[in-house]
């Protein structure tokens, strides 16, 4: 058995290495690669994706998994070996349903589509990416149809990001959330908006990056096993448990953008850096789902980074970095960073209205996949729905349906629900952490974040993909994924600010 297990691990390591070389190419594409590199890069990434796919679907892997099945069943469910065999089987069965030729076709198309989007968005040129998106939708449907037997065509795509969730279960959760959220949004936005002029002065790039680095370092992002670089659309990627990269962008006239997006990405990165090092080179060595991943970025960005206690500690340092904040009180600053308003851009949205942006995209994904919304009608449908949900209309498509990279560099389906699941799970996990350690908020005021970081590491990070998201939330909080902790968090925080 030991020999078969070693052979499986050897094969998995080769797959892991191919995948992570591909991620390195993707990181470079989004940071330093000149535009001229696009065609070759697309071809190279497609080749790696195909090689990796061929290795995972090798019948020898299936044979090894069959041979190891009895051994896995003899072990406790949560043992490392049993978990490795279980997760590998899930990946194997999923991969064997998709032909390698399709994977290569999809990857090549995604690279071309992404490149077109980077030009189309600033030019507000939907027509330029429309054929790419039509092709993406076609490929997304083709992908879903490799998994027959679904209740909704989006189910196999949702499964890829948030294993165990379905279009129907997400819809039900979102409907419940909307019902509770809309009255909060209305109560807040019917009052005068917070004044955030203090964030809209000129803040030199150098100072913003230096301060943000100092913050994420203090929170626990390990620069010995990671780094940060600039990009258009911030993301986190990893090449190993010991090399996890974050990216950021800076707007000199907006203090919040770089800082909070960097805390957000550091939250993703601390999860990846916190995975049990023994899992390196195996499918267990990454976050377990999009929703759980997002719960970690949101925890650090919002529950911690937008809390009063956090700024009681960091605000004097920020004022030192940017002396023009000297006459801005902590209270004014705290209100500014927690300004709630109906706005056009998802990534700039506050933590209260954010989920409305996600729900709109989730519904459009389902409609496009169902065939009830044609790509050509997306821009108009976007403006109409946005006006209904937000009472606002984007002046163009740049800040409408072109704003997010997801459909233009990825697939249509399963791309957005993870953000809102993350908001829900983040609040749920954080409530469990506070129950275990009520001293966490008081320690934050003194700049101590290791209690929370350690709790997250021990309860969530270290397990990697050992538990599915539904298993993990049950294990850590004792209940199913629920909206109540998130709504309770919003009510407590915003009632203090706005008397809602």
Residues that bind Zn ion (CB under 5 A): 297
Question: Sign of the C-alpha dihedral, residues 438, 439, 440, 445?
Answer: positive
Kindly tell me which of 297 and 302 has the beta carbon lying closer to Zn ion: 297
Q: Which letter does DSSP use for residue 224 in this model?
A: G
Of the chain, the end-to-end C-alpha distance in Å amounts to 62
To Zn ion, the closest distance from the beta carbon of 354 in angstroms equals 11
Cα 72 to Cα 9, 38, 138, 261, 373: the distances in Å are: 14, 44, 39, 41, 46
Kindly tell me which of 107 and 297 has the beta carbon lying closer to Zn ion: 297
To Zn ion, the closest distance from the beta carbon of 486 in angstroms equals 16
Kindly tell me which of 103 and 352 has the beta carbon lying closer to Zn ion: 352
Cα 491 to Cα 284, 345, 454, 478, 495: the distances in Å are: 37, 23, 27, 23, 6
To Zn ion, the closest distance from the beta carbon of 294 in angstroms equals 5
Kindly tell me which of 237 and 297 has the beta carbon lying closer to Zn ion: 297
Q: Is 301 a catalytic residue?
A: no
Q: Which letter does DSSP use for residue 404 in this model?
A: -
Given a contact cutoff of 8 angstroms between Cβ atoms, the answer to whether 139 and 109 are in contact is yes
Kindly tell me which of 247 and 297 has the beta carbon lying closer to Zn ion: 297
* Residue number of the CB atom closest to Zn ion: 297
To Zn ion, the closest distance from the beta carbon of 377 in angstroms equals 29
Given a contact cutoff of 8 angstroms between Cβ atoms, the answer to whether 180 and 485 are in contact is no
Helix locations, 32-166, DSSP H: 38-56, 59-73, 80-96, 100-120, 126-144, 155-161
Task: Please give the distance of CA 44 from its chain centroid, rounded to a whole number.
Answer: 25
What would the DSSP string read from start to end of 316-348? HHHHHHSGGGTTS-HHHHHHHHT-----S-GGG
Given a contact cutoff of 8 angstroms between Cβ atoms, the answer to whether 402 and 345 are in contact is no
To Zn ion, the closest distance from the beta carbon of 249 in angstroms equals 14
Cβ within 8 Å of residue 2, ≥6 positions away: none
Kindly tell me which of 46 and 161 has the beta carbon lying closer to Zn ion: 161
The closest of 494, 162, 166 to 308, measured between CA atoms, is 494
Cα-Cα-Cα-Cα torsion 376, 381, 386, 391, nearest 10 degrees, comes to: 130
To Zn ion, the closest distance from the beta carbon of 207 in angstroms equals 24
Kindly tell me which of 297 and 403 has the beta carbon lying closer to Zn ion: 297
To Zn ion, the closest distance from the beta carbon of 302 in angstroms equals 11
Which residue among 2, 73, 134, 265 is the active-site one?
A: 265
Residue 245's H or E segment, with its range, is strand 243-248
| Residues designated catalytic | 265
């Amino acid at each position: 058995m030991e020999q078969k297990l070693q052979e499986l691990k050897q094969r998995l390591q080769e797959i892991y290495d191919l995948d992570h070389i591909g991620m390195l190419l993707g990181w470079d594409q989004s940071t330093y690669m000149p535009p001229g590199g696009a065609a070759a890069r697309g071809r190279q990434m497609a080749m790696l994706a195909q090689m990796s796919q061929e290795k995972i679907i090798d019948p020898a892997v299936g044979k090894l998994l069959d041979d190891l099945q009895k051994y896995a069943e003899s072990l406790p469910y949560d043992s490392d070996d049993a978990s490795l065999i279980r997760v590998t089987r899930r990946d194997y069965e999923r991969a064997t349903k998709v032909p390698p030729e399709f994977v290569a076709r999809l990857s090549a198309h995604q690279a071309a589509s992404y490149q077109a989007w980077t030009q189309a968005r600033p030019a507000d040129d939907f027509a330029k990416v429309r054929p790419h998106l039509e092709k993406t939708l076609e490929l997304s449907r083709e992908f879903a149809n490799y998994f027959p037997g679904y209740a909704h065509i989006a189910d196999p795509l949702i499964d890829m990001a948030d294993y165990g969730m379905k279009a129907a279960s997400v819809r039900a959760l979102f409907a419940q959330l909307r019902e509770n959220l809309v009255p909060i949004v209305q109560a807040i936005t019917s009052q005068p908006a917070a004044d955030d002029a203090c964030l809209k002065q000129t803040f030199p790039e150098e100072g913003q990056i230096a301060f943000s680095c100092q913050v994420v370092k203090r929170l626990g992002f390990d620069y010995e096993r990671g780094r940060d670089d600039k990009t258009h659309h911030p993301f986190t990627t990893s090449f190993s448990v010991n090399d996890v990269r974050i990216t950021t962008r800076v707007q000199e006239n907006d203090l919040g953008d770089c800082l909070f997006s960097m805390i957000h990405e550091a939250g993703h990165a601390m999860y990846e850096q916190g995975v049990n090092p023994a899992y390196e080179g195996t499918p267990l060595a990454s976050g377990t789902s999009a929703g759980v991943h997002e719960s970690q970025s949101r925890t650090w960005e919002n529950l911690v980074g937008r809390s009063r206690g956090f700024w009681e500690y960091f605000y004097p340092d920020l004022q030192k970095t940017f002396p023009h904040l000297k006459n801005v009180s902590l209270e004014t600053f705290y209100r500014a960073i927690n300004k709630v308003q109906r706005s056009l851009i998802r990534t700039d949205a506050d933590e209260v209205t954010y989920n409305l942006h996600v729900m709109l995209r989730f519904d459009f994904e389902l409609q496009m996949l169902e065939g009830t919304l044609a790509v050509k009608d997306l821009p108009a449908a976007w403006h109409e729905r946005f006006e209904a949900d937000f009472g606002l209309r984007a002046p163009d498509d740049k800040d409408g349906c072109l704003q997010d990279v997801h459909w233009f560099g990825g697939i249509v389906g399963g791309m957005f629900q993870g953000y809102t699941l993350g908001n829900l799970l983040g609040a749920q996990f954080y409530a469990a952490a506070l129950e275990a350690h009520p001293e966490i908020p008081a320690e934050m005021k003194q700049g101590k974040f290791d209690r929370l970081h350690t709790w997250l590491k021990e309860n969530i990070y270290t397990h990697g993909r050992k538990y599915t998201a539904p298993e993990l939330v049950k294990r850590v909080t004792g209940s199913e994924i629920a909206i109540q902790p998130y709504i309770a968090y919003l009510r407590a925080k915003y009632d203090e600010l706005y008397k809602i």
